[in-house]
Structure 1
Amino acid sequence: MRNPNYDRCRVSLKEIIQSQDFFNSLNETEIDLLCEMTTLHCYGENFILHYENNHTKELLFLVSGQARAYKIDKHDNEIFLYYIYENSMISEISDLKATTLYAYSNVELVEESQILKINYKRFKEKFLDENILCQALTQEIVKRSSQLQSLINREFIFDAVSKVSMMLYDDLEMFNKLKRHDISLMLHIQPATLSRVLSRLKRNGIIDIIHGRVAIKDEGALCEIYKDKIDD
């Protein structure tokens, strides 16, 4: 006998899939097919979804919550890559011929989150190999490429002022959520340097700091600081 909660759970899963931008081009039949290969999971803060260099058979999407991607260098130092926000694909697809996925980074949840796990082999056969969702996948690849370009700029081109300015402009909410020490580690600058940069930006009328929280007063000027560094 079918579990009486089965249909309710299935409807819930279907609604969650429909809420994700990646799948909004699918018709009713395709969404039902996707439900058959998908499960929903809830994990707490600091849960590691996968480690770098691991292979996995599941395609992951972040429904709600937040995650961060990072790598570990040869000296066991953590290198922050980027944050992953809700309504986003977590996994990286770099080889459309492979039936498993390769993790290029560690991914850790920074708050309680809901995760969609999709059987990648079936997903590839029923969707990607049939040229369904290929455009959505291309958009995700472009977005990931942009994140990696920002990483290159941050690590190899930007000075401390540019690093802080870019983070304030791109992710003010996260900047205000984190401790200053954690921000310094992420940006690979000294805490004292971070304080000097914030004081300089405030003195120039670009930001304000109210009860420890940063507010942007001149977005254009803030953006120009790191855009000029890219153009040099």
Structure 2
Amino acid sequence: MQFSEELLSFFEAIGKKQEYKKNAILFYEGQKPKDLYLLLKGCVRLYKTDEAGLVINIHFLQSPSFIAEMPVFEGLLYPASASFESDSVVLKIDFQKFKEKLFAHQEICMLFIKSLMLKIKFLEYSINQNFTMSVRLRFIKFIIGRKAELENFAQKEIARFINTTPETLSRTIKKLKEERLIDTCSGKIKILDLEALKQCL
């Protein structure tokens, strides 16, 4: 999502920048929102933890992006927790001041609506992927979609992204290597036959 310099200046005028280190927690599931958060730099992971302690990743937000804006707007508790995947910068915006300006500023209103629509579309995609796709298909979609960045992802990180265990992913990788579709080098994934992988989807 793109923010104009004018909009960023507007948000900064009613907010306060705050830096967070990698793995820091922004908020926990069940907490009551106080401010509207705008991610200016870095990456945020939204996740839920079930009764058995299993962590389910919902979304990885890249800057710039609003973070969990719907609970703030509706006055609801956060339905998930948020932590930082990298050193990040967040703008904490006074929600009352934001709400006063929202409907009087067309560009802000449209940006907010677009943000909500993108989150809804991603939620639908996430539900479809995590509950109807096998680990094999989720992994293949991941490596095809990020083929230019694979050297930046350790296998443990990929497992988190596609909501599976490192052990299950390891078995999936082993089978795809046996099929000569991928290979590994120093623990990183290397695609050998992109077209054959696409045909698996």
Q: TM-score, normalised by structure 2?
A: 0.80
Q: Which residue of 2 aligns with 1:40?
A: 17
Q: Which runs of 5+ in 1 are unaligned?
A: 1-19, 227-232
In 2 relative to 1, CA 118–189 (structure 1 residues): closer, same or farther, beyond 3 Å? same
Instruction: State which drifts further: 204-213 or 173-182.
Output: 173-182
Q: Which residue of 2 aligns with 1:70?
A: 47
Instruction: Tell me the number of residue pairs that the alignment of Structure 1 and Structure 2 aligns.
Output: 200
Higher relative contact order (CA 8 A, sep 6+): 2
Offset, 1:121: 1.3
CA distance in 2 between partners of 1:41 and 1:66 (Å): 14
Alignment of 1:34-183 (within 5 A): 34-93=11-70, 98=74, 100=75, 102-128=77-103, 130-171=105-146, 173=149, 176-180=152-156, 183=159
Offset, 1:155: 2.4
Q: Work out whether 1:212 is the aligned partner of 2:187.
A: yes
Larger Rg: 1
Identity of aligned residues (%): 24
Per-residue CA distance 1:104-141 (angstroms, 9 max, x = gap): 21000122111111111111111245444222222212
The answer to whether the 8 Å contact 1:53/1:104 transfers is yes
Q: Which runs of 5+ in 2 are unaligned?
A: none
Per-residue CA distance 1:130-173 (angstroms, 9 max, x = gap): 44422222221222123212321232111121121122234454
Secondary structure in 2 matching 1:198 = helix
CA distance in 2 between partners of 1:188 and 1:165 (Å): 13
Aligned-residue Cα RMSD (Å) equals: 3.0
Give, as a single letter, the amino acid of the residue that structure 2 aligns with 1:75.
Answer: A
Per-residue CA distance 1:49-77 (angstroms, 9 max, x = gap): 01112222211121112121101112232
Q: Which residue of 2 aligns with 1:13?
A: none
Give, as a single letter, the amino acid of the residue that structure 2 aligns with 1:183.
Answer: A
CA distance in 1 between partners of 2:134 and 2:108 (Å): 39
Secondary structure in 1 matching 2:56 = strand
Give, as a single letter, the amino acid of the residue that structure 2 aligns with 1:105.
Answer: A
Q: TM-score, normalised by structure 1?
A: 0.71
